[in-house]
Amino acid sequence: MDKVSVTGLGMTEFGKHEDISLKTLLLDACFEALKEAGFPKVDAVYVGNFMSGQLGNQEILGAIVANDLGLGSIPTVKVEGACASGGIAFRQGFLAIQSGEYENVLVAGVEKMKHRSTEETTLAINAAMDNDSNEKHAGLTFPGFFGTLANRYFYETGASKEHLAMVALKNREYAMNNPKAQFKKTTSIEEIMSARMITDPLGLFDCSPTTDGAAAVVLSKGKSGVMIRASAQASGTTQMQEAEDLISIPSIRESAKLAYKIAGFGPEDIDVVELHDCFTMTEMIAIEELGFFDKGTGWEAIEQGLTKHGGKIPVNTSGGLLSKGHPIGATGLAQIYQIVSQLRGISCNQVDDAKIGLAQNLGGTGAYSTVHIFERVNA
Amino acid sequence: MDKVSVTGLGMTEFGKHEDISLKTLLLDACFEALKEAGFPKVDAVYVGNFMSGQLGNQEILGAIVANDLGLGSIPTVKVEGACASGGIAFRQGFLAIQSGEYENVLVAGVEKMKHRSTEETTLAINAAMDNDSNEKHAGLTFPGFFGTLANRYFYETGASKEHLAMVALKNREYAMNNPKAQFKKTTSIEEIMSARMITDPLGLFDCSPTTDGAAAVVLSKGKSGVMIRASAQASGTTQMQEAEDLISIPSIRESAKLAYKIAGFGPEDIDVVELHDCFTMTEMIAIEELGFFDKGTGWEAIEQGLTKHGGKIPVNTSGGLLSKGHPIGATGLAQIYQIVSQLRGISCNQVDDAKIGLAQNLGGTGAYSTVHIFERVNA
């Protein structure tokens, strides 16, 4: 297998970009990544995006990047896999280099959500459920889904809403040092606990926001700087009624297992992780499914501060989806931006001597999960 | 490079499917292809689709296929590239096998369009233009774009509306023998010429219809039955104002050139072709850009019957997008369904002893083109 490395990174600020179009956000992140990589000859473009069609009546993002950045008549693709669109696009770029056809691939992700109403955005996001299922017709939403998981998790373990608040606070404190994050205002357990309820038990701070933003990376054949040690993807059920239980997300577990096997690493070898905290509850389950803590014990690890600097594994040092923001198609790439920055030693909330990092991106109610493991190959 | 073959084909009828959901159409085509391939262990799924989000508020088509067909926790991806979504999905499946990760890949395409109004569908299709461009804001539509090309083509050559009608008639006559085609009713040059005008000079019969439908193929590592000799993709401009001229579609030319180079074939070696006749005018340009006829002479070839059985190269023996129908995301796969059927010797409008076939799929106003060349490896 060819070695593949990340040779360029780009990312817009995450937040509300009222006067900047989706296209401009996308091109800005791509240009920054290409510039950082020294403007290599790009052989293909992959763009991760979930709902530019629904919210912006704009598709053909792949062709737009090639055309507007003057990359020539190279092949381009838009990739969709709900909130995992970015992670899946990254994996497609990786596979395309493995195929032997390409040397350098630009992978970008973008979403623009803040220009539409909450109702419109909520409806669009529900396209990540199965239309033919009962639960969608019964009114299930994503906060509803993860709220149900939280209540069940509370029932089966000793966890409570306060443990969720600890996740929210940790990620907010990390975001305060990330100049590109959407939320940088200080908060407290008290404020988080008493915030407006969204879906019991998830309050405002337990839910990732809607966000405008883009992120991009350049992938290159060869071994330099930060190398991809493993790329893995797994599917899960598309309906809650088919779940094995309500405190597991099997696609995370399967994709992690596969990635560890490919890399020859275990969770104990990972120095820093970005994982898909679309809700505080999702982070609690993900630290278990990724193998950092036993099933049903994540809440204790959080209480003991094991997911922060100085603990077992610093989680979401970017601020995560919760506080960095969650422009859906961009999220998977923004996670990789953070992990690669950590391994380069130039990140916000830098983890000392981070050598191996992991990025995990989730789509739907567990329908998709990607796990990528990265290693610093020279310092 | 690993050899890759098509080992299974599936396709729904094309037309209006009032009581069948997008998901059911997609699963039906996938199941048929898997059954035909003898239910191999599928390693990944790629789905081509353009606007299930916009018209149906339904995404995650990849995960739905894996979940509902019981394919396990395998990776899945939805691919978008406007009307070339199917061809691009096919290419991604091919590359994924080339990468060495997979042995068998299911590639499907689907679109459901007939449940929405013409206004809604037209707006959704315009997502294949660049939102930030002037021309879209000025009211350009796809019939408008290709109508402009037709008028310019008439101006620069000796062609007239009657030559467009000959394309429409040929494809309708082929469709009459295709049990899966949307339009099987006989017509005449007179009826076509006098039909309702859509955008001057394109009348009703010059435009492909809106269609519901799905198609699927199984790709397998190895050499059996019908092999892929070349997979190529090129990008073009995303705005009319950047076109090199108005009687060329450079992405078709570039993708064909690349495919011929990879295959070691030229246009003279092709026995049968399916190309992207979204409008009659597009077929006239495509037969030139694919190298079958010189630039500006396609209309003469059509007049002389060179694009039919007994001529130089039978074009769109399925009935083409014009009469078979154009369920956007499915179109690229339906073209491949027809070419593979031709090479197997079991097609409607069978071309005697067809050994080498070509499928060309276009997206946007030339933003994307894929060309795949297939060869029969045993008879």
Q: What is the pLDDT of residues A52-85, one digit of tens each?
A: 999 999 999 999 999 999 999 999 999 999 999 9
Tokens of A265: 């690493």
Judging contacts by C-beta atoms under 8 Å, the chain A residues touching residue B128 are 59-60
Does B91 score more than 80 pLDDT? yes
Integer Cα distance of A306 and A302 in angstroms: 6
Does A1 score more than 70 pLDDT? no
Integer Cα distance of A45 and A77 in angstroms: 6
Q: Which of B124, B132, B235 is opposite residue A76, by nearest beta carbon? A: B235
For A147-161, the pLDDT digits (tens) are 999 999 999 999 999
**Element spanning A181, H or E:** none
Q: Nearest C-alpha of chain A: how many angstroms from B63? A: 6
Mutate to test the interface with B, among A21, A58, A78, A95 (most CBs of B within 10 A): A95
Query: Average pLDDT of B254-260?
Result: 98
Of A217, A255, A167, A220, give the one whose Cα is nearest residue A339.
A217
**Element spanning A282, H or E:** helix A280-289
Integer Cα distance of B224 and A199 in angstroms: 54
CA nearest A43 in B: which residue? B234
User: A128's torsion region: left (phi>0), alpha (psi -120 to 50) or beta?
Assistant: alpha
Does B25 score more than 50 pLDDT? yes
Q: Which of B1, B51, B73 is opposite residue A234, by nearest beta carbon? A: B73
> For all residues of chain A together, what is the average pLDDT?
96
Inter-chain CB proximity A96 and B100 less than 8 Å: no
The residue ranges of DSSP E strands in A225-283, in sequence order, are: 226-235, 272-274
Tokens of B189: 């040059």
Q: Which of A1, A60, A368 is opposite residue B367, by nearest beta carbon? A: A60
Integer Cα distance of B113 and A15 in angstroms: 34
Q: Helix, strand, or coil here: A218?
A: strand
Whether residue B201 has a cis bond before it, omega within 30° of 0: yes
Of B220, B216, B212, give the one whose Cα is nearest residue B32.
B216
Amino acid letter, residue A151: N
Of A209, A359, A211, A202, give the one whose Cα is nearest residue A281.
A202
Tokens of B147: 């109508």
Inter-chain CB proximity B67 and A99 less than 8 Å: no
Give the per-residue pLDDT at B131. Answer: 85
Residue given tokens 């109508």 in the structure block: B147
Q: Nearest C-alpha of chain A: how many angstroms from B151? A: 26
Judging contacts by C-beta atoms under 8 Å, the chain B residues touching residue A367 are 60, 63-64, 67
Integer Cα distance of A62 and A112 in angstroms: 16
Inter-chain CB proximity B234 and A363 less than 8 Å: no
Tokens of B236: 């073009």
Task: Please indicate whether residue A83 is annotated as part of the active site.
Answer: yes
Q: Which residues of A271-283 are buried (b: 16+ CB within 10 A; e: fewer)?
A: bbbbbbbbbbbbb
Q: Nearest C-alpha of chain B: how many angstroms from A135? A: 14
Amino acid letter, residue B140: L
Q: What percent of chain A has pLDDT over 90?
A: 94
Q: Which of B62, B96, B235 is opposite residue A67, by nearest beta carbon? A: B235
Q: Nearest C-alpha of chain B: how many angstroms from A73? A: 4
- The pTM (predicted TM-score) of the whole model is 0.98
Res. B379 pLDDT band, cuts 50 70 90: very low
Integer Cα distance of B103 and B87 in angstroms: 20
From A17, A163, A276, A326, active-site residue? A326
Integer Cα distance of A123 and A119 in angstroms: 6
CA nearest B64 in A: which residue? A238
Judging contacts by C-beta atoms under 8 Å, the chain B residues touching residue A60 are 80-82, 127-130, 238, 363-364, 367-368
Q: Which of B64, B75, B368 is opposite residue A233, by nearest beta carbon? A: B75
Inter-chain CB proximity A80 and B59 less than 8 Å: yes
Res. B1 pLDDT band, cuts 50 70 90: low
Integer Cα distance of A80 and A215 in angstroms: 15
Q: Residues with Cβ < 8 Å from B315, sequence gap 6 or more?
A: B170, B273, B274, B275, B283, B287, B307, B308
Give the per-residue pLDDT at B136. Answer: 82
From A83, A207, A278, A348, active-site residue? A83
Judging contacts by C-beta atoms under 8 Å, the chain B residues touching residue A23 are 130-132
**Element spanning A297, H or E:** none
**DSSP assigned state of A26:** H
Q: CA distances (Å), B12 to each of B109, B333, B336, in order?
A: 11, 11, 14
Q: Nearest C-alpha of chain B: how many angstroms from A258? A: 11
Mutate to test the interface with B, among A55, A74, A78, A80 (most CBs of B within 10 A): A80
For A21-58, the pLDDT digits (tens) are 999 999 999 999 999 999 999 999 999 999 999 999 99
Of B36, B28, B363, B35, give the one whose Cα is nearest residue B226.
B36
Inter-chain CB proximity B50 and A73 less than 8 Å: no
Judging contacts by C-beta atoms under 8 Å, the chain A residues touching residue B22 are 131
Mutate to test the interface with B, among A99, A133, A258 (most CBs of B within 10 A): A99
Tokens of B342: 């031709």
Of A56, A25, A50, A67, give the one whose Cα is nearest residue B124.
A56
Give the per-residue pLDDT at B2. Answer: 76
Pairing of strands B76-80, A202-203: unpaired
Q: What is the 3-state secondary structure (H, E, C) of chain B?
A: CCCEEEEEEEECCCECCCCCCHHHHHHHHHHHHHHHCCCCCCCEEEEECCCHHHHHCCCCHHHHHHHHCCCCCCCEEEEEECECHHHHHHHHHHHHHHCCCCCEEEEEEEECCCCCCHHHHHHHHHHHCCCCCHHHHCCCCHHHHHHHHHHHHHHHCCCCHHHHHHHHHHHHHHHCCCCCCCCCCCCCHHHHHCCCEEECCEEHHHECCCCEEEEEEEEEECCCCEEEEEEEEEECCCCHHHCCCCCCCHHHHHHHHHHHHHHCCCHHHCCEEECCCCEHHHHHHHHHHCCCCCCCCHHHHHHCCCCCCCCCCCECCCCHHHHHCCCHHHHHHHHHHHHHHHHHCCCCCCCCCCCEEEEEEEECCCCEEEEEEEEECCC
Judging contacts by C-beta atoms under 8 Å, the chain A residues touching residue B124 are 53, 57
Integer Cα distance of B361 and B85 in angstroms: 8
Of B138, B62, B148, B72, give the one whose Cα is nearest residue B106.
B62
Q: Are A367 and B60 in contact (CB under 8 A)?
A: yes
Judging contacts by C-beta atoms under 8 Å, the chain A residues touching residue B123 are 57
Integer Cα distance of A19 and A6 in angstroms: 31
Integer Cα distance of B342 and B370 in angstroms: 19
Give the per-residue pLDDT at A271. Answer: 98
Integer Cα distance of B294 and B157 in angstroms: 12
Q: CA distances (Å), A293 to each of A164, A286, B179, B322, B345, in order?
A: 16, 9, 58, 58, 58
Res. A379 pLDDT band, cuts 50 70 90: very low
Pairing of strands B76-80, A76-80: antiparallel
Q: What percent of chain B has pLDDT over 90?
A: 94
Tokens of B295: 């630039």
For A180-233, the pLDDT digits (tens) are 999 999 999 999 999 999 999 999 999 999 999 999 999 999 988 999 999 999
Judging contacts by C-beta atoms under 8 Å, the chain A residues touching residue B122 are none
Give the per-residue pLDDT at B267. Answer: 98
Q: How many CB atoms lie within 10 A of CB B244?
A: 10
Task: Please indicate whether residue B30 is annotated as part of the active site.
Answer: no
Mutate to test the interface with A, among B235, B241, B249, B289 (most CBs of A within 10 A): B235
Of A65, A80, A117, give the one whose Cα is nearest residue A328.
A80
Integer Cα distance of A377 and A370 in angstroms: 22
ipTM: 0.97
**DSSP assigned state of A15:** B
Tokens of B245: 């001229």
Judging contacts by C-beta atoms under 8 Å, the chain B residues touching residue A237 are 67
Q: Which of B57, B68, B92 is opposite residue A77, by nearest beta carbon? A: B92
Q: Nearest C-alpha of chain B: how many angstroms from A332? A: 14
Q: Nearest C-alpha of chain A: how many angstroms from B98? A: 5
Q: Are A237 and A367 in contact (CB under 8 A)?
A: yes
What does the angle CA A144 – CA A145 – CA A150 come to, to the nearest 5 degrees?
90
CB pairs under 8 A between A and B: 210
For B195-245, the pLDDT digits (tens) are 999 999 999 999 999 999 999 999 999 988 899 999 999 999 998 888 889
Judging contacts by C-beta atoms under 8 Å, the chain A residues touching residue B79 are 77-80
Q: Are B106 and B45 in contact (CB under 8 A)?
A: yes
Query: Average pLDDT of A233-237?
Result: 96
Q: How many CB atoms lie within 10 A of CB B301?
A: 21
Query: Average pLDDT of B344-351?
Result: 98
Domains recognised in chain A with CATH numbers: 4-116+211-220 (3.40.47.10)
Q: Nearest C-alpha of chain B: how many angstroms from A166? A: 32
Q: How many CB atoms lie within 10 A of CB A351?
A: 19
Inter-chain CB proximity B58 and A131 less than 8 Å: yes
Q: Nearest C-alpha of chain A: how many angstroms from B195? A: 31
CA nearest A66 in B: which residue? B235
> For all residues of chain B together, what is the average pLDDT?
96
Inter-chain CB proximity A78 and B76 less than 8 Å: no
Pairing of strands A4-11, A226-235: antiparallel
Q: Are B51 and B124 in contact (CB under 8 A)?
A: yes
Res. B294 pLDDT band, cuts 50 70 90: very high
Integer Cα distance of A89 and A69 in angstroms: 19
From B30, B83, B278, B348, active-site residue? B83
Tokens of B290: 């694919």
For A255-282, the pLDDT digits (tens) are 999 999 999 999 999 999 999 999 999 9
Judging contacts by C-beta atoms under 8 Å, the chain A residues touching residue B51 are 53, 59
Integer Cα distance of A87 and A91 in angstroms: 6
